[in-house]
Amino acid sequence: MRSPVLSPRQFDWTLLAFTTTLAAHLLWLPIWFGATLTAILIARWLQRRAYARAWPGWIKFPVLIVVLILVVIAFGNAALRQAGPTAALLSLATLKLIESERRRDGLLVLTVSLFLVSVLFLFVDGIGITLYMLVPTLLIFFALNEVNAPPGTRGGLSSELGSLGRELLMLVAVVLPLTAFLFASLPRLTAPLWGSRDLQGQARTGLSDEMAPGTMTELLADDTPVMRVTFPERTPPNNAMYWRGPVLWRFDGVTWRTNSLSGPGQIEGRLRGPQTGAPGDLRYQVMLEPTDRHGLYTLDLATGFPAQSSRTVEGAVLRDQPVSSLFPYEAWAAINTPIPVLALPNMQRRWGLELPKGLNPRTAALAQRWRAEVGDDPIALADRAMRHIRGENFGYTMSPPPLVGAHRMDEFLFETQLGFCEHYAAAFVVLMRSAGVPARVVTGFLGGAFNPIGKYHLIRKSDAHAWAEILVEGRGWTRYDPTAAIAPERIDLSGRDFASQATGGNYVWLRGVRERFDAAQAWWNETIVRFDRFSQRAFFAKLGVDADDWHDVAAWMGGGVLFFGLLTAGVLYLQRRRVPVDVPKQLYRSFLKSLAKRGISSSAQEGASDLGKRAALALPSLAQPILAVVHAYQEARYGPPAADAIKRLQQALDVFRKAVSVGRV
| 605 touches other proteins (CB under 8 A) | no
Among 634, 653, 656, 659, binds other proteins (CB under 8 A): 634
Residues 454-483 that bind other proteins (CB under 8 A): none
Provide the 3-class DSSP secondary structure of residue 53.
coil
| 606 touches other proteins (CB under 8 A) | no
Q: Give the residue with the Cβ less far from other proteins, 167 or 330.
A: 167
| 640 touches other proteins (CB under 8 A) | yes
Q: Give the residue with the Cβ less far from other proteins, 313 or 619.
A: 619
Give the separation between CA 122 and CA 109, rounded to whole angstroms. 20
- Least Å distance, CB 588 to other proteins, is 14
| 160 touches other proteins (CB under 8 A) | yes
Q: Which of 121, 124, 55, 146 is nearest to 94 (CA)?
A: 55
Give the separation between CA 584 and CA 602, rounded to whole angstroms. 17
Counting Cα atoms < 13 Å in the Cβ hemisphere of 522 gives 27
| 576 touches other proteins (CB under 8 A) | yes
- Least Å distance, CB 621 to other proteins, is 11
Q: Is 227 exposed, middle or buried (0-12, 13-18, 19+ CB in 10 A)?
A: buried
| 158 touches other proteins (CB under 8 A) | no
Helix ranges, 338-420 (H): 345-351, 361-374, 378-391, 408-410
Residues 416-455, one symbol each (x = binds other proteins by CB under 8 A, - = not), give ----------------------------------------
For the chain, give me the number of helices (H) and strands (E)? 24, 20
| 628 touches other proteins (CB under 8 A) | yes
- Least Å distance, CB 294 to other proteins, is 21
- Least Å distance, CB 323 to other proteins, is 15
Among 7, 47, 568, 651, binds other proteins (CB under 8 A): 568
| 544 touches other proteins (CB under 8 A) | no
Give the separation between CA 130 and CA 121, rounded to whole angstroms. 9
Q: Give the residue with the Cβ less far from other proteins, 550 or 638.
A: 638
Q: Give the residue with the Cβ less far from other proteins, 184 or 342.
A: 184
DSSP annotation of 599 reads T
Q: Give the residue with the Cβ less far from other proteins, 273 or 612.
A: 612
Q: Give the residue with the Cβ less far from other proteins, 450 or 531.
A: 531
Q: Using CB under 8 A, which of the segments 174-182, 223-231, 276-284, 346-354 binds other proteins?
A: 174-182
State whether the Cα torsion 28-31-32-36 is positive or negative: positive
| 604 touches other proteins (CB under 8 A) | no
DSSP conformation letters of 174-233:
IIHHHHHHHHHHSPPPSS-SS----SSSS---S--SEE-TTHHHHHHT---EEEEEE-SS
Q: Which of 431, 399, 435, 437 is nearest to 416 (CA)?
A: 399
Which residues contact residue 20 at a Cβ distance below 8 angstroms, ignoring those fewer than 6 apart? 135, 136, 139
Residues 480-539 that bind other proteins (CB under 8 A): 528-533
Give the separation between CA 419 and CA 400, rounded to whole angstroms. 5
Which residues contact residue 633 at a Cβ distance below 8 angstroms, ignoring those fewer than 6 apart? 584, 587, 588, 591, 608, 649, 652
Residues 83-122, one symbol each (x = binds other proteins by CB under 8 A, - = not), give ------------------------x---x--xx-xxxxxx
Q: Give the residue with the Cβ less far from other proteins, 599 or 640.
A: 640
Among 85, 638, 658, 662, binds other proteins (CB under 8 A): 638
CA 474 to chain centre: 48
Strands 302-304 and 327-333: what pairing? Answer: antiparallel
Residues 185-244 that bind other proteins (CB under 8 A): 186, 188-189, 192-197
Among 8, 79, 168, 179, binds other proteins (CB under 8 A): 179
- Least Å distance, CB 75 to other proteins, is 18
- Least Å distance, CB 644 to other proteins, is 12
| 409 touches other proteins (CB under 8 A) | no
Number of residues that bind other proteins (CB under 8 A): 81
Radius of gyration over alpha carbons of the chain, in Å?
Answer: 37
Q: Give the residue with the Cβ less far from other proteins, 202 or 235.
A: 202
